[in-house]
Structure 1
């Protein structure tokens, strides 16, 4: 495989298009011409998978890249192109693709057998590390994904409160069957959900008043990740804590993504203690993993020593690979000090990228916290998904194809994630690629109408 980012034989998109639509069409055509092996792989996949896909977020037109190899913070596709990985498995891959300590932990676990058909020596060790890291988790249970953790957390809240309704937020994402965008999702599980507006405490208050003694829980992300890294305002999140307590509902924080942003998750940084928390992604060492936990009296519903205990099955809830990799990652690699350093690096990168936009009077900004950020096509504050104009997504697409051409891999929706192997040189490469994007498409990019205010 070649290590060249931009071989001389590569096809480049034109930069003299008259409209963003023309520029995007040219960029997509150049992308297709540079990646014939990925195109062939996709065509074969369509014969046996609907749309050639088994994970919706990975699809994009004209076809998705087929990745063949990963090492550190680098990826290689089927055509041999090398990329800096700035998506990091949508935040799950915090350790990169080949961390030696993670690999050693998995190898050691496998030496003693893959599936042990019972309790093993590793699960309580990881549970202890998780509870020590996240103070609101007095006890915890493991699952195989963040989606599963959120499903179990919802069931727990309904059983504990003996109420049925759940307040969620427009733009929220808690897994493939718990997606609350701007419209209904027919795949969602059929809980009776009440939709509130993110960063709008009055909308929550109205729902609680209108559904007195019926709301089991409020489910919220401290930062809405999938909707574009929309940051929850501290007063809003603290208000949720107060309202839920006043109305006898549980406050549930989905920190599947945001738990990486501070040693004890965003909840610790904010000084807010939820009743239940869901975790996932990196805490399993990059393996399939989820967890939910919180107040001991709530989690005691699952104590099998109790009559009528809630059931929670899952063959791989305590699989030895995840238990070993998770403990090693959380205690030996992604220490509290490492968490703080990664967040600081992400904040610095976001400021550097936004300085490039501001200097060129371009109405684009990266929003988010620390190592999680998303570009938005606006110069105005983004407080909810309703502040995002989906009609401007062509500019995100254009940025995606430009960065791919420059050997940098992000999510097409403009989502950027840092992993631990990403260093100063890699961040400088991203900043330089963004600068070249601004220069290349300066005549097409939206101007910042707030720049002189």
Structure 2
């Protein structure tokens, strides 16, 4: 990129820079734009997944290999979105491909139990400390719905404590400010994340009616905000005190060690929900926990779902979790992510930029404020504009990440790819210095 172009970028005010980035983005993607126009004729909102919809139109991807993606207009990208943590194994892991091809040769829909589900269940129960018994679903959303159902039936109580900024699926969303019309009208009571006093007050106020405390050990869609050990331990104590069940939503965070964050923290919940990567990229969810809680599904509780034990997910999951994502691989991925986040925060600090990166291990999110936040927050207009600008500048650099600024590393991402991302972030800090000063919050 020429020095003159860099200078023009820095000379624009923040709204002007965003508009210019949008225009440049659109000009390079006429085929994605045309596809979006056609999709608007038959799909509500032009797509069927809100998180991948953004203006002026979303880039349409057509092919993937290892940690690379190609879009409809022929552009190649380093994939750091990692399918929002579900794409842990990249796009062409040969052992997963071989398992899927073998399944397809033998048939798909059997309407029966099979050996794959028992094998995968045994692997997960052997890895996740809280799992004495487990059941499968098709998504993390379903897993959380069934875990909450199990908790309410087991305790005979109605209420569920969740946390502002939390996300437990498309119908279980708790924005930091306001509410989601899509969230099911269950009797939720809300507390503040990473705030022991808030959680204690809410739990004690509703103790007699509290069935469950559901929490992400790190809020994912809320900005990769890790829960402190003290906070999560306090929730364990509050569950014990009130008789509620503690549910760890580890749909995202289970990748951070062989046994999930609960193993890394040494805090064992009563129930755990899983999803995302575990079936090797196939649709997947799971919920489980203590044997006495899960025994309800052999009696008073029904749990249906045509594709709960579909042979593609079950057999791919056995290979993914039994052969590929070993404890050693999980630890190496965790350490790569920790080093990346430290590196990014270091270059932002060296530049004195209002920029910070939060997360755990292989999950990282950008924030346009310092110091790095330790709880969800309502971002300002300038921060949102910077977030959009960051997304478009990364695309311009050939790097695909989540529109909200989240990165989820996949196993094929190596040191060369991490270097490329760090260089792109450093260029953003340099080229957008004026906009960062205008829209960021420097503490």
Range of TM-score over shorter length: over 0.9
User: Does the 8 Å CA contact 1:14/1:27 hold for their aligned counterparts?
Assistant: no
Picking from 148, 161, 169, the partner of 1:175 is: 169
Alignment match, 2:253: 258
Secondary structure, in 3 states, of the residue corresponding to 2:433?
Answer: coil
Picking from 14, 19, 22, the partner of 1:20 is: 14
Give the CA deviation at 1:443.
2.1
1:431 aligns with 2:422: yes
1:97-147 per-residue CA deviation (whole Å, 9 max, x = no partner) reads 111000001111122211111111211000000100112100000000000
Give the CA deviation at 1:444.
2.1
Separation of aligned partners in 1, 2:372 and 2:117: 43
Counting only pairs closer than 5 Å after superposition, residues 151-300 of structure 1 correspond to structure 2 as: 151-181=145-175, 182-300=177-295
Picking from 69, 75, 82, the partner of 1:88 is: 82
Separation of aligned partners in 1, 2:267 and 2:371: 28
Give the CA deviation at 1:264.
0.5
Q: 1:416 to 1:390 in 2, by over 3 A?
A: farther
Give the CA deviation at 1:249.
0.5
Q: 1:14 to 1:40 in 2, by over 3 A?
A: farther
Separation of aligned partners in 2, 1:211 and 1:427: 46
Picking from 330, 333, 347, the partner of 1:342 is: 333
1:352-400 per-residue CA deviation (whole Å, 9 max, x = no partner) reads 1111111110010110001001001111241221264464111111111
* Runs (4+) off by over 2 Å: 11-14, 386-391, 446-450
Alignment match, 1:417: 408
Picking from 389, 392, 407, the partner of 2:398 is: 407
User: Does the 8 Å CA contact 1:179/1:188 hold for their aligned counterparts?
Assistant: yes
Secondary structure, in 3 states, of the residue corresponding to 1:444?
Answer: helix
Secondary structure, in 3 states, of the residue corresponding to 2:243?
Answer: coil
Secondary structure, in 3 states, of the residue corresponding to 1:213?
Answer: helix
User: Does the 8 Å CA contact 1:13/1:26 hold for their aligned counterparts?
Assistant: no
Unpaired runs of 5+ residues, structure 2, are none
User: Does the 8 Å CA contact 1:24/1:394 hold for their aligned counterparts?
Assistant: yes
Alignment match, 1:377: 368
Picking from 6, 28, 31, the partner of 1:34 is: 28
User: Does the 8 Å CA contact 1:137/1:295 hold for their aligned counterparts?
Assistant: yes
User: Does the 8 Å CA contact 2:129/2:262 hold for their aligned counterparts?
Assistant: no
Instruction: Give me the TM-score of the superposition, normalised by structure 1.
Output: 0.94
Give the CA deviation at 1:40.
0.6
Q: 1:47 to 1:12 in 2, by over 3 A?
A: farther
Picking from 49, 52, 55, the partner of 1:55 is: 49
Give the CA deviation at 1:18.
3.1
Picking from 365, 369, 383, the partner of 1:392 is: 383
Picking from 97, 110, 117, the partner of 1:116 is: 110
Unpaired runs of 5+ residues, structure 1, are 1-5
Separation of aligned partners in 2, 1:449 and 1:31: 29
User: Does the 8 Å CA contact 1:12/1:27 hold for their aligned counterparts?
Assistant: no
Separation of aligned partners in 1, 2:73 and 2:6: 16
User: Does the 8 Å CA contact 2:386/2:435 hold for their aligned counterparts?
Assistant: no
Separation of aligned partners in 2, 1:253 and 1:14: 48
Secondary structure, in 3 states, of the residue corresponding to 2:434?
Answer: coil
Separation of aligned partners in 2, 1:259 and 1:449: 33
Q: CA RMSD in A?
A: 1.6
Separation of aligned partners in 1, 2:121 and 2:12: 57
Give the CA deviation at 1:50.
1.5
Separation of aligned partners in 2, 1:24 and 1:13: 15
**Greater share of helix residues, 1 or 2?**
2
